[in-house]
Amino acid sequence: MKVSIVRPTELGVGDLAAWRDMQKSNGAFDNAFLSPGFSVAVGRVQPSARVAVIEDGNRVAGFFPFEVAGSRVGKAICSPLSDAQAIVHRDGLDWDARDLLKRCRLDVWEFRRLIATQSTGAGRHVSRMRQSPAVSLARGYDDYAADHRSTVKKIRAQRARLEREVGLVRFEPRSSSQRALELLLEWKSAQYRRTGRWDRLSERWVVALLEDLLHNTSDGCVGVLSELHAGDRVAALHFGLGTGSTLSYWFPAYDPAASRFSPGLILLLMLVEAAGASGVRRVDLGVGEEEYKRRLMTEELQVAEGSFERRSAFALARRLRQRVASGS
């Protein structure tokens, strides 16, 4: 096995095509966060982004996107934001995590949302498995709505109330409005601060990434900005990523003044309906135990949090320091 390290923006046309083919051939990789387009977009705003191009024999056999987090330490590409992480490879590739790290000149690679099928590569260094609720649309939206009749009825009642008290409800599933994106960022940033969470949108590179993804659709990664209007007001917004068959629910936000109508839930249900009509077979709601996800989900995908580590003095010392810092 041969490994070459490049910046995502340095990948050639043949590399990008091979990556797309690998994604399409394995359902476990059907996620925009695992696409070449996402890694390339991250590479345009994050100088630390890298891709290990894996060759087996005379052909490209896999891609390992990561970020350099320090001397001999890597992390998942776009780690704070990505909802899916993996080594994307051809069927039948026999790879070993420690050997891959060695060839990438890393002792540790940290991940937060590694697809479950690859978690065995981390051995005992998986700190926990997490559930990512999802909506399957394999049987179509009508069957989904029938199976969730009570929840759908309540959300539709809220929509009717919003329409009566504020104005005609209109849903725009695909928008390219820069103003709508800016409003979403404003609302989401305020929500982070209001709830005492780290404001991801205070990072300039995150804003630059979202703008890039909205306006530069390519290589299996489509930025999807959706708008919910009530009368002449914008009530809720969402920015997600799609592959064509899977939509990742990512950055939702709503007007706090309209919160009593649950506009975020109204938008989400209408987004699921529009996704089903466009041929999307799954809406991945992302890791989390929020009540609305439990009510709307049909299945749970598993992802792992932890690290790949080599047997080295550096990795051992780093792990001991982390245990002392955490008090464990």
Counting every residue, how long is the chain? Answer: 328
Is it the case that residue 53 has pLDDT exceeding 70?
yes
CA nearest to 279, candidates 323, 247, 238, 318 = 247
pLDDT reported for residue 70 = 84
- At residue 325 the predicted structure's pLDDT band, cuts being 50, 70 and 90, is low
* Number of domains composing the chain: 2
Residue 273: CB atoms within 10 Å: 18
Per DSSP, helices labelled H in 104-203 are: 141-147, 149-165, 178-194
The pLDDT of residue 328 is above 90: no
* Identity of residue 23: Q
Tell me the whole-structure pTM to 2 decimals: 0.94
Q: What is the pLDDT of residues 156-211, one digit of tens each?
A: 999 999 999 999 999 999 999 999 999 999 999 999 999 999 999 999 999 999 99
Do 177 and 98 lie in a common domain? Answer: no
Q: Is the backbone of residue 57 left (phi > 0), alpha (psi -120 to 50) or beta?
A: left
Question: 247 lies in which domain range?
Answer: 139-280
Q: Percentages helix, strand, coil for the chain, rounded to the nearest 5?
A: 45, 30, 25
Q: Residue 283's pLDDT is what? A: 98
Q: 161 near 261, Cβ under 8 Å?
A: yes
- pLDDT-based confidence at 122, cuts 50/70/90? confident
Give me the pLDDT at residue 327, please: 62
Contact (Cβ atoms closer than 8 angstroms) between residue 234 and residue 267 = no
Q: Average of pLDDT values for 118-133?
A: 88
The pair of three-digit structure tokens given for residue 221, joined into one six-digit string? 């990664």
pLDDT at 320 over 80: no
Kindly report, residue by residue over 90-110, the tens digit of the pLDDT.
999 999 999 999 999 999 999
Q: What's the mean pLDDT in 129-140?
A: 96
pLDDT for 208: 97
In a domain, 288, yes or no: no
What average pLDDT does the chain have? 93
Instruction: Output the six-digit token pair for 310.
Output: 């080599």
Least Cα distance to 256 among 206, 193, 199 occurs for: 193
Q: How do beta strands 233-242 and 246-254 pair?
A: antiparallel
Q: What average pLDDT does the segment 279-301 reach?
A: 95
If asked whether residues 109 and 83 sit together in one domain, one would say yes
Domain of residue 16, CATH code: 3.40.630.30
On whether the CB atoms of residues 225 and 215 are closer than 8 A, the answer is no
Q: Do 17 and 64 have their domain in common?
A: yes
- Same domain as 261, residue 161: yes
Query: Does 138 or 314 have the greater pLDDT score?
Result: 138
Per-position DSSP letters for 184-249, written without gaps between them: HHHHHHHHHHHTT---GGGSHHHHHHHHHHHH--BTTBEEEEEEEEETTEEEEEEEEEE-SSEEEE
Q: Is the pLDDT of residue 237 over 90?
A: yes
182 shares a domain with 272: yes
Would you state the pLDDT for residue 326? 61
Per-residue DSSP letter, 176: -
Q: What is the pLDDT of residue 57?
A: 86
| Residue 58, pLDDT score | 86
pLDDT at 71: 83
Of all residues in the chain, the percent with pLDDT exceeding 90 is 86
Residues 11, 107 within the same domain = yes
Pair 221, 273 in one domain: yes
Give the pLDDT mean for 25-33: 95
